[in-house]
Structure 1
């Protein structure tokens, strides 16, 4: 195995959390391998035009971005570390499996994102003493009639086109869902010359009044909100609260969308429906953490305040698996600033666990920053939940799983007629989540529908099977066939006996992320007896 594929620390993901973790760890003296699916750093949040051809774009690369100067600083620090050998950057590669080795440390298997994998099989594997998982998140989607038509997009996908390609996805748009991200997407579309016919938020803004102190934890977010409000007034964008898109119309592409008012629970108020003439519908229902590698490595998870399955971490980002850390959206959706702080703290914890000295004042500052950010995130999720009665918007023939073309009726019939009592049973019987995306698009909606039909609340144990898979990303059979080294001695993911696990001082698995203590120290994890 190439010496470049051996590291003190491997970091998966080069978004805000992973980039912060990689440069911080390298600056403490750890040898770092940074693995990322993107060809450029920044992740989804700092997605930007091709750095090799910036002169081909009309606007600067920072157009539409927040905290761009912070990203530029991280990017420059990474380049210096790559030049001096502190970081080996493996761009355009995905990790499809993580195994704990019997002798200690981790073995990560990678594959090229696109094209034929020209790397030798031995160079596709990375060994590291410790691993920081910072895989980010993807758009959460809820099905509605017509959501599979061309012209219906995830809000994050619409924004990605604006940031990376400076291309608008339509000419007349409605942006719908819930949460402050809708404002960002609508403002970006308006700046690009798109007529935003309406922004429809399923919740009332008054819900923020229930958590005023949490909202004040992030004054920067309030400033961003003022900027969006200014754009809305200037562009005359109507913001409609307690309003949803109930269906999308069109033959071959979107030609219209029906919107309606809803009550506090999300039930449509009869007689409030109206049709909008649009060619783009951007749905944003929050984000789902990309948790496959966390679950595959055997780390403990929980259901967060927004219904997401997230990694359980202690006050210094350690998971329940020794040597494995999680940072960013994998621990709970909280935004880029929060993710940067978590990535930096995870790197410091890894350095301490490796026996290196770190500035304890920085660790304490990061813990306080993370506590504030998590407090704000809890308030945001409580103010912008997925409506409880969203399933009442659906028709029997509405597709839940677009890959396998499974309608709502098939899910309900599997529960009522075949006595399936959890999402995994429905998945293996009716096949939702068995297609190319492996439930990444429909998994949240599927688990919610099954929970409503069975009357059981969603639990981590119910959701984990939807994301637990031996191969974490699409993989060529040739990649398996060409493996140069046997992995029989490696512990399979999740096989580690975690009974009697004892974390460092201050470890908590509190349901409310804001309850994480500020007093936890960076002392190395106690080993199991």
Structure 2
């Protein structure tokens, strides 16, 4: 491989830069590299796998890390393909923006006449000594999803964690939240969505006591589309894998219930669970108190699309009211030269992400090499059929667990909505009802909700829901209703941000000196596309 580090040489872009090393990004990177493209795979974590296949560092001495994962063999196979492909993995690279550069002065520009500059801050927390710049002819966005949190009184108590966060602690650190003095913590798992079953079974397998799994929506929504369920038997098997140990250990399921309050002084000691009506309003007189040491709560996932919307990619509203990027049959976004795969195009699970990643990698290879064939026709047809089945199930799943607007009835005026800026429900309601705020952006300007460290990633859905009550109707259905699949312009807030992760002024000042971070200048290249 060439090892020149001259200034001109550093201007040569990779064929493909993949942002995110989870199932979608790893599949896309491996597929493109196997087709002869030079590929750089960037991720904020130190190890491959993303959130879904998060696993402990070798130094922790985990004997069987696969025990806490579903379908570990699929990930292990992808990892082996990637390691044999010759691509470059750049760990602990937190991408904060992607910009288009004109082809002039940059050798090997992409087939669409431009080159992409992918800017990142480095280090475990993005606090490395120097920023990084990686150029690419094409970019694949595979940045995954984040948990949706709906606040309630007491949710800021120590011991209240995200459901996915509890699972991440277990997978990456082999730590059960709430463990003290060798005791088995009591962990209530609550919220909505199939992730709850996976989290509860993982915690149970690791030794926790799980007194209850509290599901706000229930599972009857799946019965509306038996045709979709019949086409995904693997999903039934997965649910059985997670549900069987819960039943065996006598874990109490509370369907169509929610945690409406957490109790405690120094940390959470108990939660109040109440039955919900069809609009997710708590039903008076149904409250039940459950003692616990930890509450793991989350109401599904929302796509992480900051990079795509900052570049002007078209978006759509999903069945559960989230916002996802619009992609075509080959995973191309509305912006030429940008592809997207996995949860960024709508939450659907690891298997769907792998399928879409492979389709995207093959599509990029075909585009950059100036040919129409993207791989063996039989393989492509099989992938498209699988994607169609899994996307249909993903839509059904999102609709079944979609939050209803009545959840705001469990809020009190003193309940914090934005924890970073300590903005409570009363201030948000005042902005809407007295000051005329009609959307989340105006609420943000009037109250500072969403201006803190997380930039609205945690409080955004809640603020938007509170603001929507006074927003003028535009024909769109409420969350939980039948939502349009029509692409919509990138929203100004909260999804569209100029910076995807926190960046220091020093990193911005150093942009002129940023260099390609490939070790010793050694990276694979292919010839310019035909």
Cα distance in 2 for partners of 1:63, 1:173 equals: 20
Show the counterpart of 1:96: 96
**Correspondences of 1:47-86 after superposition (within 5 Å):** 47-50=54-57, 52-53=58-59, 56-57=61-62, 59-81=63-85, 86=86
Helix, strand or coil: the match of 1:329?
Answer: helix
CA deviation vs aligned residue, 1:6-46 (integer Å, no higher than 9, x gap) = 20110000000000000000001111111110100000000
The offset of 1:95, in angstroms, is 1.1
* Mean Cα deviation higher: 65-74 or 383-392: 383-392
- Against the structure 1 CA distance between its residues 133 and 5, is the aligned structure 2 distance closer, same or farther, given a 3 Å change threshold? farther
Q: Which of 292, 302, 310 is matched with 1:288 structurally?
A: 302
The offset of 1:413, in angstroms, is 1.0
**Correspondences of 1:5-404 after superposition (within 5 Å):** 6-50=13-57, 52-53=58-59, 56-57=61-62, 59-81=63-85, 86-103=86-103, 104-113=114-123, 114=125, 116-119=127-130, 124-170=132-178, 171-354=185-368, 355-356=370-371, 357-359=373-375, 360-404=377-421
Gapped regions of structure 1 (runs ≥ 5)? 487-529
Helix, strand or coil: the match of 2:414?
Answer: coil
Cα distance in 1 for partners of 2:464, 2:363 equals: 34
* Mean Cα deviation higher: 457-466 or 100-109: 457-466
**Correspondences of 1:401-420 after superposition (within 5 Å):** 401-420=418-437
Helix, strand or coil: the match of 1:369?
Answer: helix
- Against the structure 1 CA distance between its residues 143 and 250, is the aligned structure 2 distance closer, same or farther, given a 3 Å change threshold? same
Task: Tell me the matched-pair count.
Answer: 477
Is the 1:5–1:125 contact (alpha carbons within 8 Å) kept by the matching residues of 2?
A: no
The offset of 1:463, in angstroms, is 4.3
CA deviation vs aligned residue, 1:217-262 (integer Å, no higher than 9, x gap) = 3211101111223202211101111111010011121011001111
Is the 1:174–1:278 contact (alpha carbons within 8 Å) kept by the matching residues of 2?
A: yes
The offset of 1:361, in angstroms, is 2.7
Q: TM-score, normalised by structure 1?
A: 0.87
The offset of 1:307, in angstroms, is 0.9
Is the 2:121–2:127 contact (alpha carbons within 8 Å) kept by the matching residues of 1?
A: no
Helix, strand or coil: the match of 2:366?
Answer: helix
The offset of 1:147, in angstroms, is 0.5
Is the 2:440–2:464 contact (alpha carbons within 8 Å) kept by the matching residues of 1?
A: yes
The offset of 1:116, in angstroms, is 4.6
RMSD of the TM alignment (CA)?
Answer: 1.9
Is the 1:216–1:376 contact (alpha carbons within 8 Å) kept by the matching residues of 2?
A: no
